[in-house]
């Protein structure tokens, strides 16, 4: 019988953390976080990490692992996550991979296309585009040649946009095509599940979460990061919640507008997440509206395993 891995995904504020903790405790297992920002220390409030009590209840991987200026990418995540999965299987446990970073989920389930080929001259050309038109200028270049890949990315994540342009430049094919055609040879059975909330309820949850972040001290968290000497240009800080507060602290907008932008940009991020995940017909979706619904979903998933 193939070793199993439970995958829980869905948009931000859909209930993934609550569900994963319930299942992990019932199966006596551990959680691998597939979140590209929760991996960083000091980014706590704005990334909505599980709380201290939740981290104590169940062992998590890839949370509070690196400092904000340390490098982390999807290839490294794939490599390290697979080692953790193998170790958990040897201990007789069924790992739970949970998160909303679509590329990280794909890396674990299917493997990720990662060529060593680069074109330094072309990269220099792309850097000139950023200097002239900012990250949106670079993003517009990708939209011209590879719109399907561009729609899965944020303009601010210029490293991913640059890499997608480079792959297209080198191969004449989109990075999405390469990802689809790349398959990793392993024998793991991935049980992929997704949480879906009705849009109005999801947006209400986003409003509540953002307000709570501000109450818990998001502004002071960002101030502390900048006071420690971390550059606002860091990829880790080029994140919804942080970039808007940085803009406020720089006097580029007022706090009320910054909060509005965090909520708007989080809604847009949730839409992009769903566009990504809906493209994978292997995911079994569960409609949820409450913690009671999440408990019922936990029962269904545990029954699938047992």
What per-residue confidence (pLDDT) applies to 116? 47
Helix spans in the chain (H): 16-27, 52-57, 74-90, 102-109, 120-145, 147-150, 158-171, 175-181, 199-216, 218-227, 242-249, 255-278, 291-305
Domain limits, the chain: 4-112+182-305, 120-181
CA proximity to 99, closest of 40, 12, 157: 12
What per-residue confidence (pLDDT) applies to 65? 96
Cα 113 versus chain centre, distance: 18
| CATH class (in words) of the domain with range 4-112+182-305 | alpha beta
CA atoms within 13 A on the CB side of 82: 19
The pTM of the whole model exceeds 0.75? yes
Count CB neighbours of 262 within 10 A.
25
What per-residue confidence (pLDDT) applies to 27? 97
Distance between CA atoms of residues 19 and 49, nearest Å:
14
Q: How does strand 4-9 pair with strand 31-33?
A: unpaired
Q: Which fold has domain 120-181?
A: Histone, subunit A (1.10.20)
What per-residue confidence (pLDDT) applies to 143? 92
Per-run averaged pLDDT (10 residues), the chain, 306 residues:
94 97 97 96 97 96 97 87 96 97 89 66 85 89 90 84 86 77 77 97 97 98 98 91 97 97 96 92 96 96 88
What per-residue confidence (pLDDT) applies to 117? 62
């Amino acid at each position: 019988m193939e070793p199993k891995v439970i995958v829980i995904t869905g948009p931000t504020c859909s209930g993934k953390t609550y569900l994963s903790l319930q299942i992990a405790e019932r199966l006596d297992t551990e959680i691998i976080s597939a979140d590209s920002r929760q991996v960083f220390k000091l980014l706590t409030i704005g990334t909505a990490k599980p709380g201290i009590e939740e981290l104590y209840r169940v062992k998590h991987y890839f949370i509070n692992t690196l400092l904000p200026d340390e490098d982390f990418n999807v290839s490294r995540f794939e490599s390290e996550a697979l080692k953790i999965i193998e170790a958990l299987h040897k201990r007789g446990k069924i790992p739970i991979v949970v998160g909303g970073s679509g590329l990280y989920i794909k890396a674990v389930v299917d493997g990720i296309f990662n060529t060593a080929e680069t074109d330094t001259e072309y990269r220099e050309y792309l850097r000139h585009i950023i200097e002239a038109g900012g990250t949106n200028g670079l993003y517009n270049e990708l939209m011209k040649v590879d719109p399907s890949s561009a729609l899965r990315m944020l303009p601010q994540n210029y490293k991913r946009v640059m890499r997608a342009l480079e792959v297209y430049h080198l191969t004449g094919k989109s990075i999405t095509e390469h990802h689809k055609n790349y398959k990793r040879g392993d024998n793991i059975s991935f049980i992929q599940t997704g949480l879906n909330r009705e849009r109005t309820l999801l947006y209400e949850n986003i409003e509540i979460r953002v307000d709570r972040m501000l109450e818990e001290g998001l502004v002071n968290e960002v101030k502390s990061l900048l006071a420690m000497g971390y550059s606002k240009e860091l990829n880790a800080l080029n994140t919804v919640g942080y970039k808007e507060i940085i803009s406020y602290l720089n006097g580029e907008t007022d706090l009320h507008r910054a909060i509005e932008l965090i909520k708007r940009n989080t809604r847009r991020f949730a839409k992009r997440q769903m566009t990504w995940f809906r493209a994978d017909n292997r995911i079994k979706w569960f409609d949820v509206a409450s913690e009671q619904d999440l408990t019922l979903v936990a029962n269904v998933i545990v029954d699938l395993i047992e």
